[in-house]
Amino acid sequence: MSGKELSTIIGRWKWQKLSIPSAIKKTPLIEQRDNELEISRDKLMAEVLNNYAERISEKKAAETIHTQLDSLMLNQNRLIEATNNSASSLSEAIQEQMKMNQSLMPGMSLENISKVLFSAYANNQALRVQEKVIVDGIVPAIISGMVKGYDEEYVFIGGTKIAIDSINWIEDKK
Cβ atoms of 152 and 101 within 8 Å: the answer is no
pLDDT in tens, 112-131: 998 998 899 999 999 999 99
Q: What does residue 145 show for φ and ψ, rounded to 5 degrees?
A: 160, 180
- pLDDT recorded at residue 171: 92
pLDDT average, residue stretch 45-56:
75
- pLDDT recorded at residue 17: 45
pLDDT average, residue stretch 90-106:
73
- CB-CB neighbours of 170 under 10 Å: 24
pLDDT average, residue stretch 99-103:
68
- pLDDT recorded at residue 156: 92
Sheet containing 167-172: order of strands: 160-163, 154-157, 143-150, 126-131, 167-172
Cβ atoms of 136 and 88 within 8 Å: the answer is no
- pLDDT recorded at residue 19: 46
pLDDT average, residue stretch 82-88:
77
- pLDDT recorded at residue 92: 77
DSSP line for 64-118: HHHHHHHHHHHHHHHHHHHHHHHHHHHHHHHHHHHHHHPPPPPP--HHHHHHHHH
pLDDT average, residue stretch 53-69:
80
pLDDT in tens, 23-39: 455 667 666 766 777 66
- pLDDT recorded at residue 72: 80
- State the sign of the Cα–Cα–Cα–Cα dihedral 60, 66, 69, 73: negative
- For residues 105 and 129, give the distance between their C-alpha atoms in angstroms, rounded to a whole number: 10
- pTM score of the predicted model: 0.43
Q: Which long-range contacts (CB under 8 A, 24 or more apart) does 114-122 make?
A: 114/164, 116/170, 116/171, 116/172, 117/147, 117/150, 117/155, 117/164, 117/170, 119/172, 120/147, 120/172, 121/147, 121/149, 121/150
pLDDT average, residue stretch 57-69:
81
Higher pLDDT, 21 or 87: 87
pLDDT average, residue stretch 44-60:
76
